[in-house]
Amino acid sequence: MDEAGVLIAGTVARSFSLQSRSFAFPPSSPAAILRTRVSTASRPKLLVLEFWGLGDLTFSTPVLRAAVERYDVTLVGKAHARPLLAPTFPQIEFLAYDAPWSAYRDKYRLWRWNWRDLLVLLARLRGRRFDVALSVRNDPRDHLFLLLTGAHRRYGFPRRGSSAFLTCPLLRLREKQHKVEDWRDIGRALDLPGMDAAGPALDHARYRSAQGDALFSRIDKPVVCLHPGARIPVRRWPEKYFAHIVERLRAEFDFHLVLIPDPDGYGSGLSPLADSVLPDLDVTELVDVIGRAELLLCNDSGPGHIAASCGRPAIVVFGPTDPDWFRPWGEQHHLIIRDICPWRPCFDYCKFPEPYCLTKIAPERAWPEIRDHVRSLIEQGKVARTMLKR
């Protein structure tokens, strides 16, 4: 374990007695429970940790789908975990917690962590007496968290000595593999059925929203969604590059363009090119709209994985991350990617004033492969043939 991990372990061990302790959740705590059903005492209890983004949560669905048939499942993750997964998995209990070690910046400033919320959450989880707990991340902090929950069996991929925190340390089937494969490996370790063929999936019909109904009721053309943003700015292809692609698409295909800007406004500059603009969508509405579209054009971000989980094709511009680990799952997607920068993948920690791995992907050079992929999707019947201009 690295020095930060050792420090975290020591701090928590000194602060948190491993004996049972009685804490009550304050109503405003970020670890407040969002219950979706009452547990059945006769079934074993499974705790799942997934502290990261929307895409990461979609990767967990193969295991969740099989696990809810055998376990009472509790998932601890960021607040967006519940609206993303609860419609598909109403039997799961969600606990909202924003783990400080999952922050993009300043995750090692331990004095800024909300230690009280962390300890209250751990105490509450210990009181549940979980039979099994797991994390797909090879992160010693997750593994220490699993240990401190008191779960009887703890599964994960150890790193830097964190196997000491796990009762069932796992090895990946392949040294480098997609995160969905990591989840499958955990599912196999739990002896869950169907892991060899399981893929990410959301039950899109359960995400219907008034916003989506109002939009699609007045559209009589195939819908192409454009989501030009990303949570982390170094994953964003420039707006003017997307504008070039939209203009070329308009020249060859017939469609209704729905623009979904980021919450911070990134992408709004493309509004004059769009037929509809949908700012400030919540997670349920986002799933609904993307799941009804013929095609999504986006960066490497959560919406691409939502499209894949709804069975919709995506064209994704990839920059600082590694598609071998994080690409949208499935064969109907296309990645725009160039190994221009010798530091790629840097996993969002760019060494330069701008992410050259993205800004040096000229749209006029990306266009031919985008056009060819759209034509291929039409020929295969994966998007509407009416997108072809007569």
Among residues 156, 189, 222, the one where a domain terminates is 189
Let me know if residue 310 belongs to a domain: yes
Q: What percent of the chain has pLDDT over 90?
A: 75
- 39 — pLDDT class (breaks 50, 70, 90): very low
> Do 154 and 10 share a structural domain?
yes
Does one domain contain both 89 and 230? Answer: no
Task: Clarify whether residues 231 and 176 are in a common domain.
Answer: no
Q: Both 183 and 216 in a single domain?
A: no
Nearest to 153 by CA among 47, 76, 11: 47
pLDDT at 199 over 90: yes
Q: Does residue 200 form part of some domain?
A: no
Measured distance between the N- and C-terminal CA atoms of the chain, rounded to whole angstroms? 62
CB 29 within 8 A of CB 120: yes
- Which of the pair, 385 or 321, is modelled with greater confidence? 385
| 123 and 226 fall within a common domain | no
Higher pLDDT, 253 or 22: 253
Residue 195 lies in a domain: no
Query: What angle do the packed helices 115-128 and 140-149 form, to 10 degrees?
Result: 50
List the structure tokens of 342.
């010798």
d(CA 239, CA 217): 29
Mark whether 307 and 262 lie in a shared domain: yes
Identify the domain boundary among 130, 159, 189: 189
Strand runs labelled E in 260-358: 276-277, 295-299, 314-317, 334-336
Query: Is residue 198 in a domain?
Result: no
Separation of alpha carbons 354 and 76, rounded Å: 34
Please give the single-letter amino acid code of residue 41. A
Instruction: Report yes or no: 374 and 294 within 8 Å, Cβ to Cβ.
Output: no
Q: How far is the C-alpha of 25 from the C-alpha of 304, rounded, in Å?
A: 35
Do 88 and 42 fall into the same domain?
yes
Q: What is the mean pLDDT of the chain?
A: 89
358 lies in which domain range?
206-387
Q: Are residues 295 and 228 in the same domain?
A: yes
Q: Using CA atoms, how far apart are residues 96 and 28, in angstroms rounded to an integer?
A: 11
Q: What is the dihedral of CA 127, 128, 131, 132, to 10 degrees?
A: -100
pTM of this prediction? Answer: 0.88
* Contact of 296 with 227, CB cutoff 8 Å: yes
Cβ within 8 Å of residue 166, ≥6 positions away: 143, 146, 147, 154, 155, 156, 158
Do 22 and 164 lie in a common domain? yes
Whether 320 and 183 map to the same domain: the answer is no
pLDDT at 25 > cutoff 70: no
**pLDDT band, residue 353 (cuts 50/70/90):** confident
Take residue 311 and report the two structure tokens written for it: 């069975």
The mean pLDDT value for 76-82 works out to 98
Q: What whole-number distance in Å separates Cα of residue 182 and Cα of residue 191?
A: 14
Which has the higher per-residue pLDDT, 275 or 349? 275
- High-pLDDT (> 70) share of the chain, %: 89
DSSP E strands, the chain: 33-34, 45-50, 72-77, 93-96, 132-135, 153-156, 168-169, 223-227, 256-259, 276-277, 295-299, 314-317, 334-336
In a domain, 298, yes or no: yes
Residue 201 within a domain: no
Domain count within the chain: 2
227 and 260 housed in the same domain = yes
Angstrom distance (rounded) from CA 124 to CA 145: 13
The closest of 104, 99, 125, 103 to 114, measured between CA atoms, is 99
Residue 194 lies in a domain: no
Verify that 14 and 123 share a domain, yes or no: yes
CATH of the domain at 221: 3.40.50.2000
Q: Domain end: 160, 189, 218, which one? A: 189
* Omega before 363 within 30 of 0, i.e. cis: no
Amino acid at position 330, single letter: G
**Residue 117: inside a domain, yes or no?**
yes
Residue 267: count other Cβ atoms within 10 Å of its Cβ: 23
Q: What pLDDT score does 41 carry? A: 58
Q: What is the DSSP letter of 176?
A: S
- Report phi then psi at 54, rounded to 5: -60, -45
